[in-house]
Amino acid sequence: MTTTLLDTTRGIVEFTYKGVGPALLLLKGGHSTRNTDLSHSSLVYEGFSLLTVSRPGYDYTEPSTGRTPEEFAETIVEILDHLNIESVSVIAISAAGPTGIALASSHPERVNKLLMEAALTSPWNKKTKQKAKILFGPAERIVWGSLRTLLKFFPDLIMKQLLSEMTTEDVDAYLERLSPNDRRFIYDMLSTSQSGKGFTNDLEHTVPDMNRLDVPVLGMYSQKDRSVPYTNALLLKSSVPDCEIFEVDADSHLIWIGKDAQEVWKKRLEFLSQS
């Protein structure tokens, strides 16, 4: 994939921009790299242009471009200005939730609507932060390198270990129910993951005031998500005037696979296509 590096006032940002049609801004979640695709790249075949911006600390985007969601929102506006994009609809995934909220609340004139996909609306809990800082801090390259090597030889073991952090279900039963395509989705997601300096930055984010959101919001969440609990959906609904919550019948944080995956796709297209 051809990427672009833009030298903004806060530092270098990496992005891709492809397709023809109404502009969508995709903000990927924690550990996601330029090569991680949770199905969103197919939106270009639905008549949209897709702007995918790597968040601070991921890929070649420098941490200085946004230590906070509010700072990175200003950097995103610079990118939009550079590309002569007047306004976008925003898709914020998982740990990118605070950034999507910051952009939509501080620059409502640049955001048509906000789609929150299993996205954080509340702070990380202390235990999760402590564990993540150990695994995905200075040792993150060794951790991900080891995981990718083990994934090739013991895929079930590694998937089970990581999925146990994403589902409230029995992880063995969850693995057993996965289709071959769903297993490939998880394998590809893990094999393209890298934390860089991005995830430790994510852990320090605070969520902007959601009461300031004045654009249509759709949140898609699963009741069985361990990493982003359903309370995030309830908080979003109670804080935002124009908000719909779509409860996904998914068995984990990964709302893009499983029995309700097609409904997630349809709901996303319906929301993004509304004038």
Which of the residues are catalytic?
94
Ordered DSSP codes for 173-199: HHHHH--HHHHHHHHHHHHT---TTHH
Token reading at 219: 């949140």
**Residues 70 and 89 sit within 8 Å (Cβ to Cβ):** no
**Residues 50 and 97 sit within 8 Å (Cβ to Cβ):** no
**Residues 37 and 93 sit within 8 Å (Cβ to Cβ):** no
**Residues 222 and 250 sit within 8 Å (Cβ to Cβ):** yes
Q: Other C-beta atoms within 10 Å of 177: how many?
A: 12
- Taking the CA atoms of 178, 45, 190 and 72 in sequence, report the sign of the dihedral they define: negative
Three-class SS state of 91: strand
Rounded CA-CA distance 269/42 in Å is 11
Three-class SS state of 163: helix
**Residues 58 and 11 sit within 8 Å (Cβ to Cβ):** no
